[in-house]
Amino acid sequence: MESGLTSLFSVSIDFETSHLFFPHIINWLMGGLFALILVFKVVPFLAAVRRGEETLPILGESMDKFRFFGSIALIAAYFYLMAVVGNLFPYTGYGFLFVSMAFVFLMSMMYMHTKTKRKVITAVINAIVAPSLAWFILAKLFQITLP
């Protein structure tokens, strides 16, 4: 009964390594597709860049470096400090509350282009009110865990 075609398709999966079976297929698929994209998309694109018709993404574009990297750094610091301060006052959500206030204010200042007294005051009020409100509603009313 066993013809050439059925044995070609037949497969048995060893339970011990079954966690690798599907990832292997996906790895190969991804590698193959990546090669295709490299040949049909990336190489022509790089050629166009060399001719000056296109610009490289990220590297070749003008970007607001201060605000972009500032955002990433600020967000990373926010996440880190939240846990640190949160450990000082466990189960209160104060880590979230206090660090969020500082974060909201600093990010507002960073995104503000022209600083006027009025705008800064708005930012300060926002930085105090918004985290307090979020903290009160979520941690106090809804009993949601916060750092």
Partner 1 sequence: MLDILSLLDITFFLLAAMGALIGIIFGAIPGMTATMAVAVCLPLTYALGLHHGLALLLGLYVGGISGGMVPAVLLNIPGTPSSITTTFDGYPMAQKGEGERALRVSVVASVVGGLISAAILFLFAPLLAEFSIKFSYVEKFLIILLALTVIASMSRNMLVGIFSGVLGIWLSLIGTYSISDGGNGHTRLMFDFLEPYLFEGFSLLPVLIGIFGIATILLEAEKGVKSGLAGTEIKIGKGGGFSLNLFKGRLTNLVRSSFIGTFVGMLPGVGGSAASVLAYTQEKNLSRDSSEMGKGAPQGLIASESANNALTGGALIPLLSLGIPGDSTTAVLIGAFTLQGIQVGPLFIPENADTWYVMMTALVFANIVMFFLMFYAIKHIAKVVLVPKYILYPIIVMMCVVGAYAINYGIMFDVWTLLIFGVLGYLIQKVGLEVAPLIIGFILGGQAEVYFVKSLESFGTYSIFFTKSPIAVVLWLLIAASVTFSVVMGLKSRAKNRLETTQ
Residues that bind partner 1 (CB under 8 A): 5-6, 9-13, 15-16, 18-23, 26-27, 29-30, 33-34, 36-37, 40-41, 57-58, 63-64, 67-68, 70-72, 75-76, 78-79, 82-83, 96, 100, 103-105, 107-113, 119, 122-123, 126-127, 130-131, 134, 137-138, 141-147
Measured from the CB atom, the residue of 78 and 94 that comes closer to partner 1 is: 78
Residue 95 near residue 86 (C-beta atoms within 8 A): yes
In a 10 Å sphere around its CB, with 0-12 CB exposed, 13-18 middle and 19+ buried, how is residue 66 labelled?
exposed
CA angle 116, 118, 122 (to 5 degrees): 120
Alpha-carbon separation of residue 106 from 8, 76, 94, 99, 123 (angstroms): 63, 13, 18, 11, 9
Would you say 19 or 50 has its CB closer to partner 1? 19
Q: Shortest distance, CB of residue 42 to partner 1, whole angstroms?
A: 9
Supply the minimum distance, in Å, between the C-beta of residue 105 and partner 1.
8
